[in-house]
Amino acid sequence: MVFAVQRFPKPEFETGYLQPGTLLPSPRAEILAAMDVAILVLALSVISWIVLKKRSRKGVFWMSLFSLIYFGFYREGCVCSIGSIQNITLALFDHTFILPLTVIAFFIIPLIFTLFFGRTFCAGVCPFGALQDLVAFRPQKLGSRLNAVLGMVPYIYLGLAILYAATGTDFIICRYDPFVGIFRFNASFGMFVFAGILLISGIFIARPYCRFLCPYGVLLNWVSRFSRRHITITPAECIQCRLCEDSCPYDAIDIPVTTKDPENRKIRVKKLIWISLLIPFLTFAGGWTGSRLHITLAGVNSKVRLAEEILTPAAGQGQPESLGLTAYKSSGKAAEEVYSEASEILDRFYNGGWILGGFIGLVFGWVIAERMLSKWHTDYIPNKGACYSCARCVDFCPVKTDLSEIKHEKT
Amino acid sequence: MKKPDSPDPTIKLLRQIAFVSALFAVVLCILILVNWLQLHRADPLNSPAVKTMIDRLGSDPDNAQLREQVRTLDLLSRKAYFTSQWQIRTGGYLLLISVLIIAICLKTIEYFHKKLPDLPEIKNNTYWIDRKINRRWVGYTGGAVVLVTLVFAFLSHNELENMLGNAVSRGTDTISGKNASKNIPLSTSGKAGSVPDSLLTLATGDSISSDTLLDGYPTWTEIIRNFPSFRGPGGNGIVYQKNIPVSWNGKSGKNVIWKSGIPLPGYNSPVVWNNRVFLSGANETRREVYCFDAKTGKILWTARADKITGSPAKAPTVNKETGQAAPTMTTDGRRVYAIFANGDLIALDFHGNRIWAKNLGSPANHYGHSSSLMMFRDMLIVQYDQRGSANVMALAGKTGDVVWKTARNVKVSWSSPVVAFTGKKTELLLAAEPYVASYNAGNGKELWKMDCISGEVGPSVAYADGVVFSVNDYSKLAAIQIGETPKLLWENSEYLSDVPSPVASGKYLFLVTSYGTAVCYDAKTGEKYWEHEFDNTTYASPIMAEGKVYIMDKTGTMHIVKADRTFSLVVESPLGEGSVCTPAMVDGRIYIRGDKNLYCIGK
């Protein structure tokens, strides 16, 4: 609000009214920041207990409601683990950037819990997930094709977010965060529409942001695959009743694989070898493609834009001068300095384009290769990477170990 | 799992509540969107009605009723703006509440009305088929991403990288001093000035017509190829070009390429841009700007500065040694600017066509206005330290509009502005009693000042390596270490100047007094290394080029000495005609304004 007021020019009073000084929001008190971290740890502990010990969907629901209120509306979605990726990246590439301990904690702690207990953070602590889970009234299955296509978007988003943070260009996760504007009641028009689309589509496509955009979800997905104790659908032996088969709105249940791939074994092995060889090629091809795009990618950078505006003044003819150019003109800064900075940033984007493209190419190759491997299992099990540990499937399983639960069912 | 009993009417009621809330939420959404559109249309800062009324008020400033109407309308539009903001915010709260009600109702219905899971159909081999489809579509997605990326890369392909590369490499050349003499660290000079290197190709051509001249402003690289103002680039007395002549004789014609008569007198110095040399001249009745062909010395055009609105009918009374055209002109390669003793300021294109002209007000100056013009980016800098109203201003080169104007609490001065890049910013350095002051060249804000000069200040300052040097007769020579809090590094009162400005490298400061003594100091400590008397009055400011200092006395003899800690006279070259003007030097040539003629020295 302070900034909004500042943008508005001061009216010219002739009444002796004294313009009050600019107010700057004070940073959150250290004790309160520590409290946020403590609540995060507590919330993760409670949700992990609810998911793994109590196996209670109801408990997950109430926990996520608490997180929505505390981390969402009270803390206004900041610090959030999703955005912390950028702070961590920038701190790694820019030693002058001071990284608060709270941000490190919000980045690391959910990953540690995920390593032990699966994505319980997504289940009941992340306010974004909680908000979307709240509106998932009529979730529908998406099908293989759409899942395959949309499932690749978070990797690209993650790569771009890291590239832009590493080059000190922008925090795009925060800039295009659809839900923070809702938590703060100050969404821009575009973000309001974006959030509306996500929430309305979220009625039918459960957690669209988490599944098809969330860059932090990519990291959680990787870590969760190695989780020691992950939620199971059945607490004991699966009786193959198939009741849970369609229970997951996120398509995160792996059905038993007992049949062999109908394709000839020789062909499959050949394909796998081919794909394995393809991975380095895809990585290189991706890198090359990314490097071709580096000028376009760097166009977002304010310093590059400024240099371009100074260098080609004719290009902007007929358009009002940008605020950046106006500020530069009054700065007394030498143009050569701007060019030099912009050139350096372009170099970084060139290298970054290689890395980003290489990463995306590697992911595509890896995902394709992964889809060729057989995963023999006879039970219905949650896919450790994709499962949000929401415990919906638990309610569908007729197998109970808790006697009190059986007693309750009988009554 | 057993469900709690739930009466059907409750579920029905919840459904109805959810439906009504959903309807309410949709209406709210529409209202918020409409409000948002209104908010962006009704910008109180750009209200056409208010603007029209303000324009009317401009032509009728005493109309109190109209003034009141403007205020009322402005207040109303501001109120409307903030009311819209309030409505959006309140709508947001209501929307949240309605969504919450929908969620509560539907969740309650879900809780009371749980359905048994449907048993899906058994699908044989769907797993492998799904995996295959999945693989294929991941592949398609990858292909699409590559295609889209390449299309974007192709469509957005531009020359930005090459242009930046060229701009940076040219800038680096400048900084690393490829064009500089060994003794002069160019980093001390400042990278003042600026921009479009895209225009550089035009600047290097043999001829530039106004048709091909793009607007904008020259880069530092362009600036140092030329001699665009009094004492060269930035007005700091340093030349970055090579092959500057050292030996000539005006009488015998040795190494004089051409000599051309100047129609009207003037004590301003030549400025050079590519193949054009500019001078001004004036008497009590005429004020003129001359453009000489740098190759032949022929006057290409003469432009008269007349019929300027506000110009005083009678020329001011000035000292004989100042004249009506003392200030040196300046050029940004697009236009050329001149100012005269009566305050007439004129901007001309390279064909001599007037672009704009104005009178700055008759200078209240007992000797006559002599402060030279300076360019910075696309702005014309004018130091106008007149009695009762001293100020420095920047005018838009293209239009003459005032970009910024800063009042100065100083006495009348005759010194000229210096523009220097001091590491982080470009500073505008001015001297006048009682202080040396620095201004942000971009916006005119005062950065620092130091009380260290007094009297009728004529010499301009010199800058090198973070130190500003100021001097004036009956005052002192001061070295100011600049920074957030500038400090006096050293001072000396042994030799002082009242006309020639000093020149400095990172190591040495060279000072020439009006009575013809040249002195060399250690720039950092003030230790005097040498002094030498040339025995003739000297008004021209010394220029440093290729490790030498060019000092021209009033008889027209150029004394060239090594810019070193020991005195070493390289050569003395006579012009054969008296001169009080500072020479202009570009690659292989020196242009000297004599009392009556303009000389081009070179081979």
In whole numbers, what is the pLDDT of chain B averaged over residues? Answer: 85
User: Residue B190 has what pLDDT?
Assistant: 32
Q: Write down the number of H helices and E strands in chain B.
A: 7, 33
Tokens (6 digits) for B283: 């008497």
Instruction: State how far the Cα of B543 lies from the Cα of B357, in Å rounded to an integer.
Output: 31
Cα–Cα dist A140/B327, whole Å: 81
Rounded percentage of chain B residues whose pLDDT exceeds 90: 55
Q: For residue B429, how many C-alpha atoms fall within 13 Å in the half-sphere facing its CB? A: 28
* B496 within domain boundaries: yes
User: A291 is written with which tokens?
Assistant: 């490097």
Interval A191-223: pLDDT, tens: 988 998 999 999 999 999 999 999 999 999 999
Interchain contact, B134 vs A147, CB within 8 Å: yes
Which domain-ending residue is among B112, B138, B169?
Answer: B112
Please tell me the distance in Å from A148's CA to the nearest CA on chain B: 5
Residue that terminates a domain, selected from B90, B112, B134: B112
pLDDT at residue B95 is higher than 70: yes
Residue among A143, A138, A123 at smallest CA distance from A60: A123
Best mutation target, A310, A321, A397, to test chain B (most B CBs within 10 A): A310
Asked if pLDDT for residue A268 goes beyond 90, the answer is no
Cβ <8 Å between A311 and B164:
yes
Pick among A336, A363, A395, A408 to test the B interface (most B CBs inside 10 A): A336
pLDDT at A246 over 90: no
Q: Which chain A residues are within 8 Å of B128, Cβ to Cβ?
A: 259, 261-263
Count of structural domains within chain B? 2
Q: State yes or no: pLDDT of B402 exceeds 80.
A: yes
- Closest-CA residue of A relative to B111 is A58
Whether residues B149 and A289 touch (CB distance < 8 A) is answered with: yes
Residue B178 has pLDDT above 60, yes or no: no
Rg (CA), chain B: 35
Across-strand partners of B549? B544, B561
Task: Look at B20-24, B164-168, B400-404, B588-592 and tell me which has the smallest mean pLDDT.
Answer: B164-168
Of B120, B138, B220, the CB nearest to A152: B138
Same domain, B101 and B243: no
Residue B5 region by backbone torsions, left for phi larger than 0, else alpha for psi between -120 and 50, else beta: beta
Give CA–CA dist B302/B320, Å, rounded. Answer: 24
For chain A, give the mean pLDDT: 86
Indicate the residue of A61, A196, A310 with minimum beta-carbon distance to B29. Answer: A196
Arithmetic mean of pLDDT, A127-141: 91
Pick from A42, A33, A48, A376: nearest CA to A229: A48
Is the pLDDT reported for residue B191 higher than 80?
no
**Residue B493 corresponds to which amino acid?**
S
- Tell me the shortest Cα–Cα distance from A105 to chain B, in angstroms: 30
- A292 and B150 in contact by Cβ < 8 A? yes
Residue with the larger pLDDT of the pair B596 and A18 = B596
Among A157-161, A186-190, A283-287, where is mean pLDDT lowest?
A: A186-190
Higher pLDDT, B216 or B207: B216
Inform me whether the pLDDT recorded for B332 exceeds 80. Answer: yes
> Is a pLDDT exceeding 80 seen at residue A388?
yes
The residue assigned the tokens 């369609």 is A246
| More confident site: B598 or B53 | B598
Q: Which two tokens stand for residue A36?
A: 């946020």
User: If we measure between CA atoms, which residue out of A141, A125, A144 comes closest to residue A133?
Assistant: A125
Q: How far is CA B255 from CA A120, B259, B549, B586, B603, in A?
A: 88, 11, 19, 15, 6
Sheet containing B271-273: order of strands: B271-273, B276-282, B287-293, B299-304
pLDDT confidence tier of residue A4, bands split at 50, 70 and 90: very low
Residue (of A83, A88, A93) closest to A348 by Cα position: A93
In A, minimum Cα distance to B81 occurs at A8
Given a cut of 80, whether residue A188 has pLDDT beyond it is yes
Q: Chains A, B: CB contacts under 8 A, how many?
A: 203
Closest to B238 (Cα-Cα) out of B550, B538, B599: B550
Q: How many whole angstroms separate alpha carbon B527 and alpha carbon B491?
A: 10
Q: Which residue among B1, B110, B441 sits closest to A409, beta carbon to beta carbon? A: B1
Predicted confidence band at B157 (pLDDT cuts at 50, 70, 90)? low
**Percent of chain B clearing pLDDT 70 (strictly above):** 89
Candidates B15, B134, B187: best to mutate against A (most CBs of A within 10 A) is B134
- Sign for the CA dihedral angle at A38, A39, A44, A47 comes to positive
In three-state form (DSSP H/G/I as H, E/B as E, the rest C), the secondary structure along A313-355 is HHHHCCCCCCHHHHHHHCCCCCHHHHHHHHHHHHHHHHHHHHH
Task: Please state, in angstroms and rounded to a whole number, the distance separating the CA atoms of residues B344 and B311.
Answer: 6
Q: Cβ of A289 and B425 within 8 Å?
A: no
State the residue for tokens 């695959």.
Answer: A225
pLDDT tens column, B42-77? 778 778 888 888 888 877 778 888 888 888 888 888
Across A313-330, average pLDDT: 70
Domain boundary among B112, B140, B165: B112
On whether the CB atoms of residues B164 and A346 are closer than 8 A, the answer is yes
Q: Average the pLDDT over B402-419 and give the result.
A: 93
Q: Cα distance from B199 to chain A (closest Cα, Å)?
A: 9
pLDDT at residue number A382: 93
A371·B131 Cβ contact <8 A: yes
DSSP A384: T
Residue B125 above 70 pLDDT?
A: no
- Given this model, what pLDDT does residue B271 score? 96
Euclidean distance between CA atoms B543 and B501, whole angstroms: 9
Q: Is residue B97 part of a domain?
A: yes
**What one-character-per-residue DSSP string does A94-162 give?**
-TTS---HHHHHHHHHHHHHHHHH-SHHHHHT-HHHHHHHHH-SS-----HHHHHHHTTHHHHHHHHHH
Q: Report the distance separating Cα B121 and Cα B105, nearest Å.
A: 32
Paired with B239 in beta bridges are B545
**Is the model's pLDDT at A25 over the cut of 90?**
no
CA of B135: which chain A residue's CA is closest? A368
pTM over 0.80: no
Domain limits for position B255: 221-602
B446: domain CATH number is: 2.130.10.10
pLDDT surpassing 70 at residue B173 = no
Residue B447 lies in a domain: yes
**Rounded to an integer, what distance in angstroms lies between the CA atom of residue B435 and that of residue B488?**
12
- A351 has pLDDT over 70: yes
